Amino acid sequence: MLIFEKGKEGRGLSLFPECDVEVVMPEEKDRRERTLHLPELSENEISRHYTELAKKCHGVNDGFYPLGSCTMKYNPKINEEMAALPGFTEIHPLQPAHTVQGCMEVMKTLEEYLCEITGMKNMTLQPAAGAHGEFTGLLLIKAYHESRGDKKRTKIIVPDSAHGTNPASAVMAGFSVVSIPSGPDGCVDLEKLREAAGDDVAGLMLTNPNTVGLFDKNILEITKIIHECGGQCYYDGANLNAVMGTVRPGDMGFDVIHLNLHKTFSTPHGGGGPGSGPVGCKEHLAQFLPSVLVEGTEELKFRKPEHSIGEMKEFYGNFLVAVRALTYVMTLGREGIPEASQNAVLNANYMMQKLKDLYTMAYDEVCMHEFVMSLSDLKKKTGVSAMDIAKGLLDNGIHPPTMYFPLIVDEALMVEPTETESKETMDKAIQVFRDLYEMAEQDAEKLHNAPVKTPVTRLDEVGAARHPVLKYEFSK
């Protein structure tokens, strides 16, 4: 039931005392023609309404949530406590720098740690999400070529195993995209890359691990080919949880990187934000970074780089996400950071090994933090699709993995267990996957109808896409 259907005229909350100053109404022309349809409910009705909604959702606090390429992990609650400290929340972006030195120290320390982890020289915390970071990084590359009078570089090479935002960001930044196919091993086809590399190439964007969960074994060769043709190398580090503390993109030859603090560095991810997509770069690109870098030792100051591409977002980025990330990095420390990523990789490989005798793996190789199965064979054999299996998982208290992505794998399910799950949780999930496979063979119909135990059962997805109902029609 919608909150609009629950209200009763005249009911409400009276938290405020009666107004004791003169009420001044806006001029007639500025007034609404109709009164607002605000639901009228008491405090406990509102509270119950939202609790009821929350109970109908599946979140990381309810159970396993192996949504690949999204890193839905359990985030330590101490991060939330730090981000809720009044010293961080009760400040204003226009406050003079000398009154927010502690907050500036948070930004500076996080920048330094992230540079250390990625092998970069400088980092901006301004971008608000991964795709926003990509856009920022590409503008740095553009500014770099333009500053050298090199105007013919209009192309960005993007392998077909890249995250979908990569080509989109390249187009947004005014480049044309050259797509490079993957080889049968899921890695970039080096021959095709060599063919595409030329003096019109501004750079390459590499998602690594790529969207099929593999670390490109030719990564050093890839950056070499691009640098030799005069291009810059961009590392999509949204999923740094696969490599952090073990290898550094900067050491592999990359010039620019973005991170997703709302994936790897522990900010609850879902519901649409807030996120943070810091961009790090090597020294030759630092002069183009967006403004508000923090510098200084005694008194910290904000600095705008000399040839800055300008503001990518108002003020300082999503600061409280940075607070959570810093808390995360500091609580894990030098030993904990690689341990977290190694557990993420171990967990994904464990599940993959325990399922691959039944489910066809898209690439039967050692994976990184996630693996991709193709349910193509199962569908041919039984009619049960990736979607049906995903719906069956819901009946077992498991959030579905990412479905039908990456696009280069038919009937794809992409599973990312994350580093925060125990062996017992994964064993249970493995059993559920195996049971569903058996059910597909024996009673496919049952899976076509799943889920049956959730608050909403099988949705009419075609209807929802073709005739979406996006607003509530009031009866009066």
Ligand X SMILES: *Cc1c(COP(=O)(O)O)cnc(C)c1O
**Where along the sequence are the contacts to ligand X (CB under 6 A)?**
69, 129-131, 163, 165, 207, 236, 238-239, 260, 275, 277
When the beta carbons of 186 and 277 are compared against ligand X, the nearer one is 277
Amino acid (one-letter) located at 388: D
Sheet hosting strand 176-180, strand order edge to edge: 122-124, 279-281, 256-259, 232-237, 201-207, 155-159, 176-180
- Closer of 321 and 323 to ligand X (Cβ): 321
Minimum gap (Å) between residue 35 Cβ and ligand X? 39
What are 371's strand-pairing partners?
Answer: 415
**C-alpha to C-alpha distance for 437 and 140, rounded to whole angstroms:** 48
Q: In whole angstroms, give the CA distance from residue 257 to residue 250.
A: 8
- Taking the complex as a whole, the smallest distance from the CB of residue 267 to ligand X amounts, in Å, to 11
Largest CA distance in the chain: 78
Q: Which residue is nearest to ligand X (CB)?
A: 130
User: Whose Cβ is closer to ligand X: residue 131's or residue 286's?
Assistant: 131
User: Considering only CA atoms, which of 358, 330, 476 is closest in space to residue 36?
Assistant: 476
Least Cβ distance, residue 68 to ligand X (angstroms): 9
Beta partners for residue 372, in sequence order? 414
Q: Which of residues 187 and 439 has its CB atom nearest to ligand X in the complex?
A: 187
- ∠ CA 325-162-374, nearest 5°, is 105
Q: How far is the CB of 60 from ligand X (least distance, A)?
A: 16
Please, what is the minimum distance in Å from the beta carbon of residue 418 to ligand X? 13
Nearest distance from C-beta of residue 207 to ligand X, angstroms: 5
Neighbours of 173 (CB within 10 A): 18
Is the Cβ–Cβ distance between 172 and 135 less than 8 Å? yes
CA 217, CA 229: separation in Å to the nearest integer? Answer: 21
Q: Within its chain, how far is the Cα of 429 from the centroid? A: 23
**Of 212 and 300, CB closest to ligand X:** 212
Nearer to ligand X, 100 or 348 (CB): 348
State the minimum distance, in angstroms, from the CB of residue 79 to ligand X. 18
Q: Which is nearer to ligand X, 163 or 391 (CB)?
A: 163
CA angle 332, 244, 270 (to 5 degrees): 80
Smallest distance, Å, CB 162 to ligand X?
8
The continuous run of DSSP H or E covering 346 comes out as helix 319-355
Q: Choose between 189 and 236: whose C-beta lies nearer to ligand X.
A: 236
